[in-house]
Amino acid sequence: MQLGLIGYYSDFVVYPLVIAILGIAGLIEAGEESAPEWIGMVIFCLGLWTLIEYVLHRFVLHHIPYIRDLHDRHHVEERSSVGTPTWLSLGVHALVAFLPVWMAFGFATASAVSCGLMLGYLWYISVHHMIHHWHPRHPSYLYTLKRRHAVHHHIDDTANFGVTSIFWDRVFGTAQL
Ligand SMILES: [Zn+2]
Ligand SMILES: [Zn+2]
């Protein structure tokens, strides 16, 4: 969706707040003894996010009608503030991840899963913003990501679906350097 300035940047305020509150509440609920497992689950879900990022970009953003049109616009007008509103990404996350895990495994697990996934999402939108708006020096991690993402935008949109890492593109054979 075309977002206003506040809409575009609200993710960067709302997500850290939600992650911090959920993190504190989750750790209190888990208690000292279960804290290591809680943190382990956060790290596991952070890694899981990179796969979700790949799958969403490859199969949802490039194939689902309407969403595909919006994403095509991002491919062309890469610096415009086309994006997903915070209320929508948070709502989908709550319905698909947080609430079902809470129902099945309790609040402590759900808070860990959500913190991990939301940290991954925050990292992804931050990297994606920097890729399109910053001029990273060469060579650097960010420069490599920027070049790979530019290949996806302008040369081959069937390659380089991962934004924060090349790992899943390598696994699924869609990496193009
Ligand atoms: Zn794309
Ligand atoms: Zn992009």
* pLDDT tens, position by position, 67-88: 999 999 999 988 887 788 999 9
Q: What is the pLDDT of residue 59?
A: 97
What is the distance in A from the centroid of ligand 2 to the CA of 132? 7
Does position 5 have pLDDT exceeding 80, yes or no? no
Q: What is the pLDDT of residue 153?
A: 94
Residue 54: count other Cβ atoms within 10 Å of its Cβ: 22
User: How many Cα atoms occupy the beta-carbon half-sphere of 144 within 13 Å?
Assistant: 10
Partnered with residue 82 across adjacent β-strands are 2
Quickly list DSSP for 29-40.
HHHHHHHHHHHH
**Looking at the domain assignment, is residue 33 inside a domain?**
yes
Structure-derived torsion over alpha carbons of residues 80, 141, 62, 71, reported in degrees to the nearest 10:
-10
What is the distance in A from the centroid of ligand 1 to the CA of 166? 14
Range(s) of the domain holding residue 72: 5-171
Of these ranges, 53-57, 73-77, 132-136, the one predicted with the greatest mean pLDDT is: 53-57
What is the distance in A from the centroid of ligand 1 to the CA of 71? 6
Q: What is the pLDDT of residue 134?
A: 92
Tokens of 109: 């697990």
**Looking at the domain assignment, is residue 41 inside a domain?**
yes
**Looking at the domain assignment, is residue 49 inside a domain?**
yes
What is the distance in A from the centroid of ligand 2 to the CA of 74? 6
Quickly list DSSP for 108-120.
HHHHHHHHHHHHH
What is the distance in A from the centroid of ligand 1 to the CA of 61? 7
What is the distance in A from the centroid of ligand 1 to the CA of 39? 32
**Looking at the domain assignment, is residue 161 inside a domain?**
yes
Cα torsion angle, 94, 128, 78, 168, sign: negative
Distance, CA of 177 to chain centre: 22
**Looking at the domain assignment, is residue 177 inside a domain?**
no
Q: Region 45-50: what's the mean pLDDT?
A: 98
**Looking at the domain assignment, is residue 131 inside a domain?**
yes
What is the distance in A from the centroid of ligand 2 to the CA of 153? 7
**Looking at the domain assignment, is residue 100 inside a domain?**
yes
**Looking at the domain assignment, is residue 139 inside a domain?**
yes
Q: What is the pLDDT of residue 69?
A: 92
Q: How many domains does the chain have?
A: 1
